[in-house]
């Protein structure tokens, strides 16, 4: 999924791409939150099966 997002970012024109690179901290936080939610969902699913 990260790869897909990355490909979309790369496909944008350079003027729009600069917005992403400048706001690197926000993007990293977003990715971290996505990863945390992903792990949380896995844990919740595992608990359901127990």
**Residue found under tokens 């926000």:** 26
Per-residue pLDDT of the chain (50 residues; tens, 9 = 90+): 556 666 666 665 555 555 555 567 777 787 888 888 888 888 888 888 76
- CA atoms of 27 and 23, how far apart (whole Å): 6
- CA atoms of 30 and 1, how far apart (whole Å): 13
Give the global pTM: 0.40
- CA atoms of 39 and 31, how far apart (whole Å): 12
Domain residues of the chain, as ranges? Answer: 25-50
């Amino acid at each position: 999924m990260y790869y897909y997002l990355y490909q979309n970012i790369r496909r944008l024109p350079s003027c729009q791409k600069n917005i992403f690179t400048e706001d690197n901290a926000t993007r990293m936080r977003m990715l971290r939150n996505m990863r945390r939610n992903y792990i949380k969902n896995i844990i919740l699913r595992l608990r359901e099966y127990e």
